[in-house]
Amino acid sequence: MPPTYWGFSHRHFAGGFFLFPQEIPTVSHTVTIKTKITDLTAIQAACQRLKLPQPTKGEVRLFDRVAQGIGVHLDGWRFPICVESDGNLLYDHFQGFWGSPEKLDQFQQMYAVEKAKLEARKQGYQCSESLLADGSIRLQVLVEA
């Protein structure tokens, strides 16, 4: 029996993003996965891919307070984002004046890709990815049948 391939595509919505896996080339189905940012290894990998400073754990200085979590300094942002232990994000970009929301979207996209790759590899699967014309990333996971 030939191996089964799974592709993952990242899509945005108002409150976050989804990964859409689909089997290739046989009959496909779509599963929606809402991702919370909780895995330090995936956060570190996303920072490395985006050429950001490595994240810091502990106190994170935001505009109006100090929070506890993982601090990530996005490119061009005045203040870091804070990833809380429950996976929620704290940040203030002052409606884009203190940082481009697109940079946060890029970080979330890279986190989702890196987290999916980590989980697939934990199960012994191989992964490959490709950048699509619309900026989304297709992640293919080889599942031996």
pLDDT by residue (tens digit) across 92-112? 888 888 999 999 999 999 999
d(CA 107, CA 70): 14
Q: How far is CA 40 from CA 36, 60, 138, 145, in A?
A: 12, 15, 22, 31
Please check whether residue 79 is in contact with residue 62, taking contact to mean a CB–CB distance below 8 angstroms: yes
pLDDT bin (cut points 50, 70, 90) of residue 33 is: low
76 has a pLDDT exceeding 90: yes
Rounded percentage of the chain residues whose pLDDT exceeds 70: 75
pLDDT bin (cut points 50, 70, 90) of residue 27 is: very low
5 has a pLDDT exceeding 50: no
pTM above 0.85, yes or no: no
d(CA 2, CA 20): 22
What own/partner pairs with CB < 8 Å and gap ≥ 24 does 53-59 have?
A: 55/83
